[in-house]
A and B are shown apart, each in its own frame.
Chain A
Amino acid sequence: MVHDVEDDRVEDMEVEVLSSMWPEDIDEAGKKFNVEKPGVHQDMLEDLTFIEEPSIVDFKRLVELTSYSEKGSSQLANLVKNWEYKQENAVRLLREELDNLSKQQHEVELKKLEILEQHRFEEESYGGDKRPVSVLDEVYEAFQDVPKRRTDVIVEEDKRLEIDAEYDTVVYWKQRALHLEKLLEASVQREQILLEKLEESIENLEKQASPVEELSQILKRADNFLHFVLQNAPVVIGHQDKELRYRFIYNHFPSLGEEDIIGKTDTEIFKGGGVKESQDFKREVLERGLPAKREITFETQLFGAKTFLIYVEPVFSKDGETIGVNYMGMEITDQVKKREKMAKLREEIAVQKAKETELNKTIHITEETMRAKQMLATMSHEIRSPLSGVVSMAEILSTTKLNKDQKELLRVMLSSGDLVLQLINDILDLSKVESGVMKLEATKFRPREVIKHVLQTAAASLKRMLILEGHVADDVPLEVIGDVLRIRQILTNLISNAIKFTHEGKVQINLCVIADPYPEGHQEPKINMDDSSVSTKNGVLLNGHEENEPQSHETVVWIRCDVKDTGIGIPENALPNLFKKYMQAGADTARKYGGTGLGLAICKQLVELMGGHLTVSSKEHCGSTFTFVLPHKLSHACDGSDDTDEFGDMADNESSDDDITCGFFQFQPHALGSTFSSNGSAITHKDRINVTPKEIVSSMDEDDSSRFDASSEPESSSKCNSENENTSCIKKEKQNDDGLDLAVDSCSPLDHRFHNAGDLCVACEARKDSNRSSECSSSSSNRQEVAKSERKPKILLVEDHMVNVMVARRMMRQLNQDMDVVNNGAEAVRAVQSCSYDLILMDVCMPVMDGLEATRLIRSFEKTGNWDEARKAGVDFPSYDQVFQEPRKRIPIIAMTANAMSESAEECFQNGMDSFITKPVNLQNLKQCLQQYVE
C-alpha cells in the first residue's frame, strides 16, 4: 500500500514511509506496514486516546535487540539510509535549479555582448565618432518576472521586442539599448535571489542535520497506529528471550502487572492446562529455529478455559544464533467452539444424510416389498380360486362310485390339492409372520401320525426309487400340543426338499425328545426294530411311564426332528444364504431343480415363530440333515375318550390306516399311492404280521407291551393278537396305572379282553370256544375264504332312532350289505330267536329294553339254548316251537353308544358285548366291524 503524499518541498516524489518496529524483511513487493506522513489527517489520531499501559517493554532489552539482533540492526540501517536518501534528493534538486539559472544567466550575457557589438558596428559604419549609448535603462522594463517554475525558466527565443521606433534610427537604437539593459538588470536581480535561496536552503539543511527528531516522530505515529489497530484485538504479542522469559508483552486485557510478567516464563506466571504445552512449543521453536503455529487450549485459574492460536517465531542474532522468540497469540475460544459445533453439525448432517439415504432405501425396499406382496396376494388369490374349483370337483368326484384304485388316486389328489391350498395360505402367512401378526394355533396332535401322513403324501408323489423312513423315538409323547398345520408344513417342505435333491438312497425323519432346548450336537440314536433293541425298549418303557406323570401338568417337551437325506448335499459356501428368501444353493441348482427358494425361508421363520430353531448340516455329495427343535406343550393326560375318539375320527381317512403308537414307517415307491411296508425286523420283534400290505404295526404302546410282559402267555397272546390285526387299526389310549382300559374304538374282542379282564388266557380260551378260531393265521385265512364264498352276512341293527337308522342303513348299503332293523331290545331278542344273524349292532340306550339287557338275554340263550331268561324279562315270543333250540354260535354283538364314558364301556363288556362303536357310526368303523366280525 503506497500512499502518494504531497510534499511542499519536493515534487513528484514517492514518500516511503518507514515500517513498524519489527517489520518483515523489506522487499520490493511493498511494505507490510505503511503509515501516513504526519500532518495529514492528523486529527483522526488526535481523537483517539491510546492506552499505552498494555504494552510493557523492557527497554534495555529493546536497545540490545536493535543493536544485536540482525533484524533490529537492519531496520535501523534502513531508517538511516532512507533519511539520507531523502536529503540527497533535496540537494540534488536544488543543484539542478542552480545549474539552470546559471545557464540562463550565461545566455543572457552572450546576447548582451552580441547586441553591443552590433551596435558598435553600426555606430562605426554610420558615425564612428558617436559614443555608445546606454540603452540598458530602457531595456530593463521589457524583462518579465523570474519564472517560478522550472518550465518557465527557459527564456523564449521568439520573444521579440516591440519597438515602435523606425528601424535603424537613432531612436530605435536607443530604445533597444535601454531595453536590453533592463533585461540584464532583471537577470542580475534573479541571480541574487537564487543565491539567497541557496543560502537559505543550506541553512535549512544544517538545521535538519539530526534525523532523530523525524524518526521519533514517525515511530510515534507508527506506534499510535499500532495501538489504534490493536486496542481491541484479542491478541497478545510478546517477545521472550532465550530462557523464555518475557521481555515484552502486549496484552489488551492485562490481568497482571509488569513486575509479574517481565523476566518470567510462562510456567512461572500461571499454572494450569496448556501452560506447559505452550512453553514446550516455544522451546521447540527456539530449538528448531523455524516459526510455527499451534492451537493450544489453556485451562488456567487466571482466565479460565480459553483456546489460543499461537504463532511463535525465533529471533536470530547477527551471527545466526537464536536469542529469543517473538510470540503472538490470538484468542479463538469462540471460533473453536463454533468450529467444534460446526464439526458436530456436519457430522450430524452426515449422519442425517446417511439415515435419509438408508430410509429412502428402506422405503424403496418396503414399497417394492409391498408391491411384491400385493402381487403375491393377488396371485395367490387368483390361484386359490381355480384351485378350490379343482379341489371341490375332486370332492364331488369322490362322492361318486369309484373303484379302489380310483379312490386312492382321488385321495392323493385331494390331499395334494388341500396341501397346495394350504401352502398358498402359508405363503400369504409368511407376510403375516414378517409383520408379526401371525397367530399360531395350539391343537392336540399326534407326532407319529403327522410323520406318517407327511411321508405318505411324499411317497404318493415319489418318482424315484427312494426309501422314505420315519423313526419316532419311544419317548416322544403320543399326543402333544402345537400348531400341527405349521409343523406339517415345515415337515412337508423339508421332505420335499430332501426328495428333490436326492437321487438314490433314502430320506428319513427322526423324531426324538431332547432334554436341553439347545443341545450341542446331540444325536439321538435311531430306534431300531431288531431284537437287540428290545432291552433298550424296555428301558425306555419305564421312562415312558415316568413321563406320563408330568403329562397331567402342562410341561413343555422339546422335540427334535431330523430330516436326513442322502442327496447331493449343499456346498459349504451356500449354507449362509440357504435360509434367505428367494435364495438357492446356486444358480445351477435353480436351473436344475427349480423351485422358488421360498420353502426354507418359510420353514425357518415358522420354526422361529414357534420358539424353536432350524439348523442344517451338510456334506456335499453325501447328503444333508435339516434339524429343527420345537417346544411342545404336553397335552393333559389323555383321559377324555371323547376327545380321542373325535380326534381319531378326524384323523382317520377312509383307509383308516392309523396306528397311533407306531414308531417306524417306511415307504417305497412300488406303485402309485402310498405303499407302507414294514421292515422284517419289526415282525420278528413284535410278532405282528401285517396282513394288508398297506399297514404295519411295529412298535407297540408301552402299556401294551408291559401287559404282555406281565401275562403268563405272552407268545400266544401276541399271536392271537396278530391274527385279528387284519385292519390293523387299534385305537389304544394310554391307560392309567390301575389298568383301566377305556375308549377302545372298534377293537377286536381279544384286544379289549386283554385290557379289560387282564386275563389273557381266558380270553384266548373264550375265542377258541366261540369257534371263531384265531389260533393261527392259516386257519383264519381259510375261514375268511369260506366266509367270502358264503352268502351275504346277515346283520341286525337295533336302534330306536330314525335318523341313526337311516344313516346306518345307508352306510350298509354303501358297504354292499343288507341289514335288518329293529327298534328296541325286546324286538332284537325276538329277531335273534327267529333268525340267525352274523352280527348285531346294538344301540345301548333304547326304550322298552335297552341294549345291555338284550345282549345279556341273547348271550344267555347262546349258553343255555333256551329263552327262559328272556321270558322272565318279559319278552313274549309269538311262537313256542322254537323255544328249544340247540345252542348257537356266539353272535358278535357290537354296542353303539353315544355315551362313550368309561363305565358304559365296562358295562358293555360285562353284558357280553364284543366291542363297541361310539356314535356317530361312520363308514370306517362300520367297515372295520364288518371286516373284523363277518368276513
Chain B
Amino acid sequence: MLGFGAVRLRTDMNRLLSLLFHQGVLDEQFLQLQQLQDQTSPNFVSEVVTIYFHESEKQLRNLRNLLLDREMWDYCKLGIHLNQLMGSSSSIGAKRVRNICAAFRAAVDQNNRPACMRALEVLEHEYCYLKNKLHELFQIEQERVLGDTVRYPGAVNQQ
C-alpha cells in the first residue's frame, strides 16, 4: 500500500483546488504556475505565492492609506497600486481578487469613494480567503512531499 497516502493527499489537493476553481477563486493560471514547477525548483509555486502575498499586503496597506487620506485623493497612485495588484493576482491565477481589483479600479475611475471603500473591504476579505486556502493547499503539498521522500525500507505504509 505504499504511496496510498500520497494518492490521498493528492486527491485532497485536487479536491481543494477544484473547490477553489469552482468558487472562482483561482483560474487556469494557477495550474500554469504548477506546471512551471519541476525538480529544479520544487517549491516554485509556494515561493511565487509567498512573494505575491508579501507584495500584495504592502499594496493593500498602501491602498488603505491612500483611501483613508481624505485630503489627498490620488487616483493615479491608487490606479498604479491596483494595476500592480491586478497584474500579480492574474499572474498567480487569483481570479476573484483580480476581478475585485477591476471593480475597484472602476470605482476609482468614477471617483466614487464609498464604492472604493467597499471594494477595499471585499478585496481584503477575498485576499484573506485566498491566503488561507493557499496555505492549506501548501500544507497538504508539504505533507505529500514529505510522504514521498520518507521511505523506510520494507515498511508497509509510512503515511
Mark contacts of A787-820 with chain B using CB atoms, 8 A cut-off: 1 yes-contact digit, 0 otherwise.
Answer: 0000000000000111110111011011000000
B23 is an interface residue with CB less than 8 A from chain A: no
> Total interface residues on B, using CB and 8 Å?
36
The reply to whether A801 and B80 contact each other, CB–CB distance below 8 Å, is no
Point out the residues of chain B lying under 8 angstroms from A847, CB to CB: 80
Point out the residues of chain B lying under 8 angstroms from A896, CB to CB: 87
Interface centre among B52, B90, B95, by most A CB within 10 Å?
B90
| Choice from B7, B80, B86 contacting A392 with Cβ under 8 Å | B7
A399 is an interface residue with CB less than 8 A from chain B: yes
The reply to whether B29 and A922 contact each other, CB–CB distance below 8 Å, is yes
The reply to whether A898 and B80 contact each other, CB–CB distance below 8 Å, is no
Point out the residues of chain B lying under 8 angstroms from A804, CB to CB: 87-88, 91
Given contacts A388-B14, A649-B28, A803-B55, contact A919 B36 (CB under 8 A): no
Given contacts A650-B28, A898-B98, A920-B29, contact A845 B91 (CB under 8 A): no
Interface centre among B35, B36, B91, by most A CB within 10 Å?
B91
The reply to whether A392 and B11 contact each other, CB–CB distance below 8 Å, is yes
The reply to whether A401 and B38 contact each other, CB–CB distance below 8 Å, is yes
- Chain A: which residue is nearest B95 at the CB level? A646
The reply to whether B32 and A923 contact each other, CB–CB distance below 8 Å, is yes
The reply to whether A919 and B34 contact each other, CB–CB distance below 8 Å, is no
- Chain A: which residue is nearest B14 at the CB level? A392
The reply to whether B10 and A396 contact each other, CB–CB distance below 8 Å, is yes
The reply to whether A920 and B38 contact each other, CB–CB distance below 8 Å, is no
How far is B47's CA from A783's CA once the two chains are assembled, in angstroms? 40
Point out the residues of chain A lying under 8 angstroms from B95, CB to CB: 646
The reply to whether B87 and A898 contact each other, CB–CB distance below 8 Å, is yes
A525 is an interface residue with CB less than 8 A from chain B: no
The reply to whether B37 and A899 contact each other, CB–CB distance below 8 Å, is no
The reply to whether A807 and B48 contact each other, CB–CB distance below 8 Å, is yes
| A444 smallest CB distance to B (angstroms) | 14
How far is B105's CA from A843's CA once the two chains are assembled, in angstroms? 18
B83 is an interface residue with CB less than 8 A from chain A: yes
Point out the residues of chain B lying under 8 angstroms from A801, CB to CB: 55, 84, 87-88, 91
A539 is an interface residue with CB less than 8 A from chain B: no
The reply to whether B91 and A919 contact each other, CB–CB distance below 8 Å, is yes
Point out the residues of chain B lying under 8 angstroms from A807, CB to CB: 32-33, 36, 48, 91-92
A389 is an interface residue with CB less than 8 A from chain B: yes
| Choice from B38, B55, B79, B90 contacting A802 with Cβ under 8 Å | B55
| Choice from A388, A808, A899, A920 contacting B83 with Cβ under 8 Å | A899
Q: Give chain A interface residues in 914-930, CB to chain B under 8 Å.
A: 919-923
The reply to whether B90 and A919 contact each other, CB–CB distance below 8 Å, is yes
Interface centre among A395, A650, A814, A845, by most B CB within 10 Å?
A845
The reply to whether A649 and B27 contact each other, CB–CB distance below 8 Å, is yes
The reply to whether B14 and A920 contact each other, CB–CB distance below 8 Å, is no
Given contacts A389-B7, A399-B37, contact A922 B88 (CB under 8 A): no
| A721 smallest CB distance to B (angstroms) | 29
How far is B41's CA from A392's CA once the two chains are assembled, in angstroms? 21
The reply to whether B36 and A810 contact each other, CB–CB distance below 8 Å, is yes
The reply to whether A399 and B34 contact each other, CB–CB distance below 8 Å, is yes
| Choice from B29, B41, B80, B93 contacting A810 with Cβ under 8 Å | B41
The reply to whether B11 and A803 contact each other, CB–CB distance below 8 Å, is no
- Chain B: which residue is nearest A850 at the CB level? B80
The reply to whether A811 and B36 contact each other, CB–CB distance below 8 Å, is yes
The reply to whether B14 and A646 contact each other, CB–CB distance below 8 Å, is no
- Chain A: which residue is nearest B87 at the CB level? A898
- Chain A: which residue is nearest B92 at the CB level? A803
Mark contacts of A392-410 with chain B using CB atoms, 8 A cut-off: 1 yes-contact digit, 0 otherwise.
Answer: 1101101111000000000
Mark contacts of B25-68 with chain A using CB atoms, 8 A cut-off: 1 yes-contact digit, 0 otherwise.
Answer: 00111001111111001001001100110010000000000000
Instruction: State the main secondary structure of chain A at its contact with B.
Output: helix
Given contacts A392-B7, A920-B32, contact A800 B93 (CB under 8 A): no
How far is B81's CA from A847's CA once the two chains are assembled, in angstroms? 10
By size class, the interface of chain A is: 35 or more
Q: Give chain A interface residues in 372-429, CB to chain B under 8 Å.
A: 388-389, 392-393, 395-396, 398-401
The reply to whether B27 and A646 contact each other, CB–CB distance below 8 Å, is yes
- Chain A: which residue is nearest B32 at the CB level? A922
Point out the residues of chain A lying under 8 angstroms from B98, CB to CB: 898
Point out the residues of chain A lying under 8 angstroms from B7, CB to CB: 389, 392-393
| A389 smallest CB distance to B (angstroms) | 5
Q: Give chain B interface residues in 76-112, CB to chain A under 8 Å.
A: 79-80, 83-84, 86-88, 90-93, 95, 98, 102, 105
Given contacts A392-B10, A923-B32, contact A845 B38 (CB under 8 A): no
| B40 smallest CB distance to A (angstroms) | 8
| A601 smallest CB distance to B (angstroms) | 29
The reply to whether A800 and B36 contact each other, CB–CB distance below 8 Å, is no
| A225 smallest CB distance to B (angstroms) | 99
The reply to whether B32 and A400 contact each other, CB–CB distance below 8 Å, is no
- Chain A: which residue is nearest B29 at the CB level? A920
How far is B157's CA from A850's CA once the two chains are assembled, in angstroms? 56
Point out the residues of chain A lying under 8 angstroms from B105, CB to CB: 899
Point out the residues of chain A lying under 8 angstroms from B83, CB to CB: 845, 898-899
The reply to whether A845 and B28 contact each other, CB–CB distance below 8 Å, is no
Point out the residues of chain A lying under 8 angstroms from B35, CB to CB: 398-399, 814, 923
- Chain B: which residue is nearest A810 at the CB level? B36
How far is B47's CA from A845's CA once the two chains are assembled, in angstroms? 24
Mark contacts of A634-664 with chain B using CB atoms, 8 A cut-off: 1 yes-contact digit, 0 otherwise.
Answer: 0000000010001001100000000000000
Point out the residues of chain A lying under 8 angstroms from B47, CB to CB: 806
- Chain A: which residue is nearest B54 at the CB level? A802
Given contacts A388-B14, A399-B37, A650-B28, contact A810 B44 (CB under 8 A): yes
How far is B49's CA from A874's CA once the two chains are assembled, in angstroms? 35
How far is B38's CA from A556's CA once the two chains are assembled, in angstroms? 47
| Choice from B28, B55, B90 contacting A898 with Cβ under 8 Å | B90
How far is B82's CA from A399's CA once the two chains are assembled, in angstroms? 32
How far is B80's CA from A899's CA once the two chains are assembled, in angstroms? 11
How far is B77's CA from A845's CA once the two chains are assembled, in angstroms? 11
- Chain B: which residue is nearest A897 at the CB level? B87
How far is B34's CA from A392's CA once the two chains are assembled, in angstroms? 14
The reply to whether B10 and A921 contact each other, CB–CB distance below 8 Å, is no
Given contacts A392-B7, A920-B29, contact A898 B86 (CB under 8 A): yes
Point out the residues of chain B lying under 8 angstroms from A814, CB to CB: 35-36, 38
The reply to whether B38 and A806 contact each other, CB–CB distance below 8 Å, is no
The reply to whether B33 and A845 contact each other, CB–CB distance below 8 Å, is no
Point out the residues of chain A lying under 8 angstroms from B11, CB to CB: 388-389, 392
Point out the residues of chain B lying under 8 angstroms from A803, CB to CB: 48, 51-52, 55, 88, 91-92
How far is B37's CA from A599's CA once the two chains are assembled, in angstroms? 40
How far is B14's CA from A807's CA once the two chains are assembled, in angstroms? 22
The reply to whether B37 and A806 contact each other, CB–CB distance below 8 Å, is no
How far is B98's CA from A804's CA once the two chains are assembled, in angstroms? 14
Interface centre among A395, A642, A801, by most B CB within 10 Å?
A801
How far is B102's CA from A646's CA once the two chains are assembled, in angstroms? 14
Point out the residues of chain B lying under 8 angstroms from A808, CB to CB: 91
The reply to whether B80 and A920 contact each other, CB–CB distance below 8 Å, is no
Point out the residues of chain A lying under 8 angstroms from B92, CB to CB: 803, 807, 920
Q: Give chain A interface residues in 892-926, CB to chain B under 8 Å.
A: 896, 898-899, 919-923
Point out the residues of chain A lying under 8 angstroms from B91, CB to CB: 801, 803-804, 807-808, 919-921
How far is B99's CA from A898's CA once the two chains are assembled, in angstroms? 11
Point out the residues of chain B lying under 8 angstroms from A922, CB to CB: 28-29, 32
How far is B35's CA from A898's CA once the two chains are assembled, in angstroms? 22
| B47 smallest CB distance to A (angstroms) | 7
Point out the residues of chain B lying under 8 angstroms from A921, CB to CB: 91
- Chain B: which residue is nearest A844 at the CB level? B83
How far is B147's CA from A647's CA once the two chains are assembled, in angstroms? 37
Closest 9 CB pairs of A and B: A845-B83, A920-B29, A920-B90, A803-B88, A810-B36, A898-B86, A898-B87, A919-B90, A803-B52
| Interchain Cβ contacts under 8 Å between A and B, 8 examples | A399-B35, A801-B88, A801-B91, A803-B55, A804-B91, A807-B48, A919-B86, A920-B32
Given contacts A396-B10, A807-B32, 12 further A-B pairs with CB under 8 A are A389-B11, A392-B14, A393-B7, A393-B10, A398-B35, A400-B38, A803-B51, A803-B55, A803-B91, A806-B47, A919-B87, A922-B28
